């Protein structure tokens, strides 16, 4: 029997039309989108399916991505596909929490709406930046950023791709130093804030106040936390991990390696795009990765897992 992990992409994967076929053609998908509209006080179908300039604004993106991811996941589960573990990249961790039964679907959607607002407000636009560093090993990047003020490692995505984050001038300076140290490329990213950097510590502390009122349940299955790439099997550490996650490095490569060490051989990426499948090719080519982005993908996954 395959050991299956559900994995969920983060902010940046959003696309107009995500989840539309799930909304229009399944009762479960429609229910989740409509419940999100009711909880948040604006039309989630309109935000996700109609061209608008809000979908790429953090305070809206996060709720939209989590709603779409949960809708896709619940429809997949109705076909009898259940995960043995779950994980999500940054924002995607909230879909993993729902998959593991740690948070209700409603609480996951409500919480990320607040998280998005807090992250959006944390740093004035233009003061922070992020950059992807390509083809330089982690130790070399840690050596450069560790000796600098105002720049942090935001994401360990996969071998050869690490993202840095922090004050704009510091990130630009780090890019030059990293290219000098042998990085093939250093690409500034089009993002609205310096996510997963020390500049967001305050946003994490405010998120802790939001989380204080959220019910956290014992995980039905282990989920792997971004902060330490370790499986979480009890309710107790969850709020602290989510508080720290906002300003800590996302250890995605290490999280995938943890799941493989736990016996996972099949990864199902649920959500728009194939970002995580791309990372997977560089992390481990031996495991199987599938993708649920459209309703028709569910039949393919069910067929492949027979």
- Residues with a catalytic annotation lie at 90, 196
Q: If you search the block for the tokens 């030059």, which residue do you land on?
A: 176
Which has the closest alpha carbon to 299: 54, 7, 80, 23? Answer: 80
């Amino acid at each position: 029997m395959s050991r299956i992990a559900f994995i969920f992409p983060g902010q940046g994967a959003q696309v107009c039309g995500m989840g539309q076929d799930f909304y229009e053609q399944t009762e479960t998908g429609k229910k989740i989108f409509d419940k999100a509209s009711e909880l948040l006080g604006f039309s989630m179908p309109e935000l996700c399916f109609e061209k608008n300039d809000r979908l790429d604004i953090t305070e809206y993106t996060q709720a939209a991505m989590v709603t779409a991811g949960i809708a896709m996941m619940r429809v997949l589960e109705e076909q009898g596909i259940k995960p043995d573990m779950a994980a999500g990249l940054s924002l995607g961790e909230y879909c993993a929490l729902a998959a593991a039964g740690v948070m209700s679907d409603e609480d996951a959607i409500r919480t990320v709406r607040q998280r998005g607002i807090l992250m959006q407000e944390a740093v004035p636009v233009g003061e922070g930046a992020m950059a992807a560093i390509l083809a330089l090993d982690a130790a070399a990047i840690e050596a450069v950023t560790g000796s600098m003020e105002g720049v942090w490692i935001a994401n360990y995505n996969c071998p050869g791709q690490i993202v840095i984050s922090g004050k704009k001038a510091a990130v630009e300076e780090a890019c030059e130093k990293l290219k000098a140290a042998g990085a093939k490329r250093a690409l500034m990213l089009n993002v609205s804030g310096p996510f997963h950097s020390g500049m967001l510590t305050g946003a994490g502390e405010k998120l802790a106040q939001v989380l204080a009122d959220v019910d956290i349940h014992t995980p039905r299955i282990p989920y792997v936390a971004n902060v330490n790439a370790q499986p979480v099997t009890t309710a107790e550490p969850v709020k602290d991990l989510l508080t720290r996650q906002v300003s800590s490095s996302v250890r995605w490569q290490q999280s995938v390696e943890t799941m493989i060490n736990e016996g996972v051989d099949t990864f199902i990426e649920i959500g728009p795009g194939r970002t995580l499948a791309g990372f997977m090719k560089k992390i481990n080519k031996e495991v199987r990765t599938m993708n649920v982005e459209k309703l028709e993908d569910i039949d393919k996954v069910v067929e492949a897992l027979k």
